[in-house]
Amino acid sequence: MNEAASNKTRSAAPAADRSGAFRSGSLFERVYAALMNLLEWPFAALQKRTGITGMAYAFALPNLLVFGVFVALPMVLNIGYAVTGSNEMMLGQRPFVGLDNFRTLLDCGNYLSANSCAQDRFWRAVHNTALFVVVQVTAMIVLSMLTALILNGKIRGRGFFRSVFFFPVLLSPVVVALIWKWILQQDGVLNAIILGAGGTKVPFLLDPGWAFFWVIFVSIWAHMGFYTLILLAGLQAIPGDLYEAATMDGTSKMRAFWRITLPLLTPNLLVVLVLALIRAVQAFDEIYVLTGGGPGTATQFIVQYIYETAFASNVHILGLAAAASILIGIVLLALTLLQLRLSYHGKS
Amino acid sequence: MGSVATFLSARRGRARLDLSDWLAYLYLVLGVVIMFGPVLWLASSSLKTQAALQEFPPSILPSGQKLVKVEGHEAPLPLFELKRQDGTTVERALVRRIGIQGQFVDPAAPSAAIERAPIAQATPVREMRAAFENYTVPLQTLRFGRYFTNSLFVTIMATLITLIINSMCAFALSKYQFRGRNAIFIFIISTLMIPISVILVPAFLVVTSLGLSNSLWGVILPPAATPTGVFLLRQYMLTIPDELIDAARMDGASEWRVYWRIILPLTAPALAVLTIFSIMWRWNDFLWPLIVLNREEVFTLQIGLSSFQGELNTQWHYLLAMTVLTLIPVVAVFGFLQRYVTAGIASTGIK
């Protein structure tokens, strides 16, 4: 909310303040101007034919073309794959099977026990993902809220602490996974510490329970800083005089938190909740590199099921993979609409 | 320790810290250890030799047993501190070992007679040594140099393309009235959170049919038309006054000139945010390259690392060094442009 306001003040500032690297005379500006001048005449020629408003289509075209070919078209094709069978790669050669793929995926004696399902691997992935989503999102929101509250207090070196909590967000999933794999392995530093403290070695990544715990821990470690930052921005937007007035009225700190902080932070919390949910539903890369979905299928999630069914197994069962991705897509679309609604609601 | 405590507890307003402040600092310090410790451990481990990595319990800093070159012996010999029976201690190099007996030689006088002593009497002499060969060897012989340039190429080209096509589209959506404008905008926005994993199968088919599988362009192009970028830039361009554009048109500027002379320079802060995001996305991208790239010579760093760690005998000394190499560029970008990153995330809620 206050960001939008500051954007407006910035836009009113003199143009030179906003232009940064585009300052005239800089090396960047000269190269930039030379390149852009090259495109001047084709666009001018086009403008003669289309008129000013017609140019809008020309400007939108490159993005729409890439978007259309690589995002919109695949969305349509996905439905085509989901309703056809066989191992053929080309859509034209695949026989139509109707909703069979969905039926196979959803064919279950009891949805709570994966073994009773035709696609037990899919249902194990669904169960794992569900448990992961609930535990990871809850723990992450509590921790990032706590961190944001602490960082919002009168803390020395706030910038430093904020960076420390934020920087894992920048690391690639592969890097995150390898860092922790190195720490958690049998002869790793964590086992050395445990041994030094008089304990015994724990096979962290070979025991299903521990592996699941570390998968959650590592994904919180990697993404927590992002949510902390959003919540911190929300906290800093709460006017300080509200707290001053509360203190003057003799309100306790706890009461001020429940009555001022939490209600005013609700829009940010909702956005964080939905974003975290969307992320958790599609958890894949860190986990895939860290545990490979193992031990057994203990940490195998839905996206890994899609990936392995379509690409990694010997038989490429594209139909099932497409059907599964449509199911996950519906969940994500619902969450996205919810998020847009919430952020629109929060801003108005 | 005392001075640190006074430094931390000195604060404006109140004279002393109360319990909740202590707990806050305790939490933060613990946070630093958990968030930052693993990366420091990675950096330190990446400089250890293969032998030092196999030690258990591991040493904190990269170190190993000191090796000395002794005349008459081809390979460098490990150096020990030998406790003799008369109580004196001397530095000796181990020539060979038979059971619990060791044969030692004086590195200063290699021609002197060989000393025999129980190995239990000898303690290894350690030295701080950074194994920089962990970095140089994989870059030269293991194709990691190739992976690195592939990653660099993908990141730079993809970021340039994203900036150009997203900003053009955002310009059209923010500064023109045309039929289908709202429909296009809503369609793009609704895919904001639809990840590549949802269209994995057909997107791969499209890329294959275009002959782009196993090509870096197959990695670069599909995610280039980012909805995030269009959204971010459009919102920013809406704040640019239309009068500026009208004035330029009055002076006879073409629409293209309006775009690159007026709109883009005024959108610089938003373009900076998108640049940083794009560099981060592309450098760190994993699932999409994993599917498109199957031949080793086109691997990006992330795919190279992942496949290298999956090999039967993981060569951790190389793997750790290459992991550090992979994380350096993004951390450097963040170090220089931290302001833009944090402001961008806080204002858009998008990463």
- Please compute the mean of the pLDDT values over residues B202-230 and round it to a whole number: 92
Please say whether the beta carbons of B171 and A59 come within 8 A: yes
Residues A65 and A199 occupy one common structural domain: no
- A241: in domain: yes
**Partner residue opposite B268 with nearest CB, options A21, A63, A221:** A21
Over residues A79-94, the pLDDT tens digits come to 998 898 887 777 788 8
Q: How confident is residue A3, by pLDDT bands cut at 50, 70 and 90?
A: very low
**DSSP secondary structure letters along B7-65:** HHH--SSSSS--HHHHHHHHHHHHHHHHHHHHHHHHHHHTTS-HHHHT-SSPPSS-EEE
- Please compute the mean of the pLDDT values over residues B307-325 and round it to a whole number: 84
* pLDDT the model gives residue A119: 81
Over residues A127-174, the pLDDT tens digits come to 999 999 999 999 999 999 999 999 988 888 888 898 889 889 889 999
Q: In this predicted structure, which of A217-226, A253-262, B36-45, B143-152 has the lowest mean pLDDT?
A: A253-262
Residue B216 in this model has a pLDDT that exceeds 50: yes
B320 touches chain A (CB under 8 A): yes
Q: A-chain residues within 8 Å CB-CB of B310?
A: 292
Residues A62 and A129 occupy one common structural domain: no
Residues A50 and A132 occupy one common structural domain: no
Residues A45 and A176 occupy one common structural domain: no
Please say whether the beta carbons of B89 and B74 come within 8 A: no
Residues A234 and A329 occupy one common structural domain: yes
Q: Kindly identify which residue of chain B lies nearest to residue A80, measuring between CA atoms.
A: B202
B326 touches chain A (CB under 8 A): yes
- A98: in domain: no
- A32: in domain: yes
B323 touches chain A (CB under 8 A): yes
Residue B344 in this model has a pLDDT that exceeds 90: no
Which residue, among A128, A142, A132, has the nearest Cα to A277 in the 3D structure?
Answer: A132
- A1: in domain: no
Q: A-chain residues within 8 Å CB-CB of B236?
A: 7
Does A310 contact B256 at a Cβ distance shorter than 8 Å? Answer: no
| Residue that terminates a domain, selected from A75, A96, A113 | A75
Residues A177 and A306 occupy one common structural domain: yes
Residues A147 and A55 occupy one common structural domain: no
Does B255 contact A321 at a Cβ distance shorter than 8 Å? Answer: no
Residue A217 in this model has a pLDDT that exceeds 90: yes
Q: In this predicted structure, which of A177-181, A283-287, B16-20, B291-295 has the lowest mean pLDDT?
A: B16-20
Q: In this predicted structure, which of A155-164, B5-14, B40-49, B176-185 has the lowest mean pLDDT?
A: B5-14
> What is the rounded average pLDDT for all residues in chain B?
84
Q: Kindly identify which residue of chain A lies nearest to residue B202, measuring between CA atoms.
A: A74
- Please compute the mean of the pLDDT values over residues B62-82 and round it to a whole number: 78
- A325: in domain: yes
Q: Kindly identify which residue of chain B lies nearest to residue A54, measuring between CA atoms.
A: B178
Place of tokens 């239309």: B242
**Partner residue opposite A285 with nearest CB, options B171, B199, B286:** B286
Residue B227 in this model has a pLDDT that exceeds 60: yes
Residue A247 in this model has a pLDDT that exceeds 60: yes
Query: If contacts are CB pairs under 8 Å, which of residues 55-74 in chain A contact chain B?
Result: 55-57, 59-60, 62-64, 66-67, 69-74
Report d(CA B201, CA B198) in Å as an integer: 8
Query: If contacts are CB pairs under 8 Å, which of residues 84-143 in chain A contact chain B?
Result: 89-91
Residue B6 in this model has a pLDDT that exceeds 80: no
Interface predicted TM-score (ipTM) over 0.90: no
Residues A51 and A163 occupy one common structural domain: no
- A339: in domain: yes
- Please compute the mean of the pLDDT values over residues A316-338 and round it to a whole number: 86
- Please compute the mean of the pLDDT values over residues B24-46 and round it to a whole number: 92
Query: If contacts are CB pairs under 8 Å, which of residues 3-32 in chain B contact chain A?
Result: 8, 11-13, 21, 24-25, 27-28, 31-32
Structural domain that includes position A327: 122-347
Over residues B289-305, the pLDDT tens digits come to 999 999 988 999 999 99
Q: Kindly identify which residue of chain B lies nearest to residue A341, measuring between CA atoms.
A: B190
- A113: in domain: no
Query: If contacts are CB pairs under 8 Å, which of residues 266-325 in chain A contact chain B?
Result: 271, 275, 278, 282, 284-285, 289, 292, 303, 306-307, 310-311, 318, 321-322, 325
- Please compute the mean of the pLDDT values over residues A38-61 and round it to a whole number: 89
Phi, psi of B127 (to 5 degrees): -145, 155
Residues A59 and A146 occupy one common structural domain: no
Residues A154 and A252 occupy one common structural domain: yes
Please say whether the beta carbons of B266 and A15 come within 8 A: yes
* pLDDT the model gives residue B339: 67
- A213: in domain: yes
Residues A37 and A157 occupy one common structural domain: no
Over residues A13-23, the pLDDT tens digits come to 344 445 566 77
Structure tokens at A267: 């829009």
- Residue A142 belongs to a domain with what CATH number? 1.10.3720.10
Does B269 contact A187 at a Cβ distance shorter than 8 Å? Answer: no
pTM of the model: 0.82
Residues A51 and A135 occupy one common structural domain: no
Q: How many domains does chain A have?
A: 2
